[in-house]
A = this chain, B = another copy of it.
Amino acid sequence: MRAVAALCRTVVTSVLTFSGDHVPGQPVNEEPAVPTRTRPATSVDVARLAGVSRATVSHVLNNQVERFSADTVERVRRAALALGYVRSAAGRALVMGRSDFIVLVVPYTTFTNLQNVVEVLSGEIEKVGLSPVVHFSVSRAENATSKRLQHLVETLRPAGVVDLGGLSGRDIEFLAEVGCPLVAEHEKPDFNTAIGELQARHLHGRGHGRLAYAFLSDERDDPYGQMRADAVTAYCEQEGLPAPLYVRVPLERSGARKVLEEMLPRTGTPLGVACYNDLVAIALGEAAKTLGLAVPSDFAVIGVEYAPVGQVISPRLTTVAADVPVSLGHIIQALAKGYGGAEIRRATPEEAFRIVQGETT
C-alpha cells in the first residue's frame, strides 16, 4: 500500500490535484474535476528528484553539510528550489516537540509605534530562522490568566514568547509550567522608570518645581503607568520637590476639564504634568486652554509617544520619543542569545529615549 501511495504521489506531484484532499492511500485515477492547487512538495519529492534519501535531504536542508559531498549538497538544494519545497511546520513540530514560531504578545493599550515594533522584531526573529506571530492580549485583570494565550501556547507550542507588556503574572507562571521560554523576561531594562524620570527632569529643568502625574483613565489597561509615576515621585524626593499629585484623566473634554479644575486648587500654578501618553497630554492641554491658563508658563504638559497628532496641533506637544530598534535591544539580544544569532550590545535607556521639545513645556 505504501508503495502504491508513493507511486501515485509521483504522478500527482507533477499534475494538479483536487482542491479537497484525497483519501490517503487511495490512488487518484479520475480526472481532477476542479484543478486548483498542487499538493505541496515534501522531502520525499525532493529526495527522489535529487536521487538521495529523505534523511540526506533533511540533513542538507538543516545545514549539516559537512558530512556530504559538495555534489550531493548542491543537487539537494537545487531540487528543493525547483520544487518550491518548504519544510512542513507540522511535521517538524511533531518531531521536535515545539514549533518554529515566536509569539509576540501585544498589550491591550493604544500604541502608535506598534507596527514599527512588530516590524523590527519580526526582522530579528526571522534572522534566527523563526517566524513571528502576533497575539493581542485582552486580559484586563492583572492576574487573570488569558485563556486565549494559554490555548495558543498549548496548541502552537511556540519556540518562545516575547512580552511587550501584555502578560499577567499568572500568564508568566503558566508559561513556566508548560516550559515555554519567555524571551528576555529577566533582563528587561527598566524603561518605564527611565521615561518617568526623563519627564520629571525635563519639567524641572524648564522651571517647574511643582509636578503631577497624569494616568490614563479609560477602559484599557495601563501596563506602564504606575512605574512611570513612581519614577516621577522618586525624582521629586531626590530633588527635594513636593510629592507629585496623581490624577486619572478621562479621554473626553468635560471630564478632562473637571480633573484639571480639581487639581489646580491643590497644587496651584505654575504646574508641570508628566502624562502617560500624548493623548492624555493633549486632553489636559486643551482643558488648560479653555480655562485660560498660560501654556507653558502656568501649566506645562509633556507626553510620551511622539504621536503625529501631537505635532500638528497648537501648541505643539513636548513629548518623549523612543528609538524603536534601540529600545527593543534587550529583546533582540535575548533572541540572538537564545536562538543562535549574532551577539549585539545592549542599549541604555539614555540611548533609547529622547525629549522632543514642543511648545507645551
Q: Which residues of A contact B (CB under 8 A)?
A: 19, 21, 36-37, 40, 86-91, 93-94, 97, 99-101, 108, 110, 112, 114-115, 118-119, 122, 126, 131, 133-136, 138, 148, 151-152, 154-157, 176-179, 218, 220, 251-253, 256, 279, 282-283, 286, 289-290, 308-309, 311-314, 316
**Using Cβ atoms and an 8 Å threshold, which residues of chain B touch A90?**
89-91, 93-94, 99, 157
Interface contact B112-A110, CB-CB below 8 Å: yes
Interface contact B179-A19, CB-CB below 8 Å: yes
Interface contact A136-B134, CB-CB below 8 Å: yes
**Using Cβ atoms and an 8 Å threshold, which residues of chain B touch A312?**
251-253, 256, 279, 282-283, 286
A/B interface sample: 22 pairs, CB < 8 A: A36-B179, A37-B176, A40-B178, A86-B151, A86-B154, A86-B155, A90-B90, A90-B91, A90-B99, A91-B94, A110-B112, A115-B220, A118-B136, A133-B152, A251-B311, A252-B308, A252-B311, A253-B311, A253-B312, A282-B312, A289-B314, A309-B309
Q: Which residue of B lies closest to A103 (CB)?
A: B133
Report which of B40, B114, B155 forms a contact with A131, defined as CB distance below 8 A.
Answer: B155
Interface contact B156-A89, CB-CB below 8 Å: yes
**Using Cβ atoms and an 8 Å threshold, which residues of chain B touch A152?**
131, 133
Interface contact B93-A89, CB-CB below 8 Å: yes
Given A251-B311, A312-B252, decide whether A155 and B286 contact each other with a Cβ distance below 8 A.
no
Interface contact A157-B311, CB-CB below 8 Å: no
Kindly state the separation between the CA atoms of A251 and B112 in the bound complex, as whole angstroms. Answer: 14
Kindly state the separation between the CA atoms of A290 and B90 in the bound complex, as whole angstroms. Answer: 60
Min C-beta distance of A174 to chain B, whole Å: 11
Interface contact B282-A100, CB-CB below 8 Å: no
Report which of B101, B148, B155, B286 forms a contact with A87, defined as CB distance below 8 A.
Answer: B155
**Using Cβ atoms and an 8 Å threshold, which residues of chain B touch A289?**
314
Report which of B40, B108, B256 forms a contact with A115, defined as CB distance below 8 A.
Answer: B108
Given A108-B115, A252-B311, decide whether A148 and B126 contact each other with a Cβ distance below 8 A.
yes
Interface contact B136-A133, CB-CB below 8 Å: no
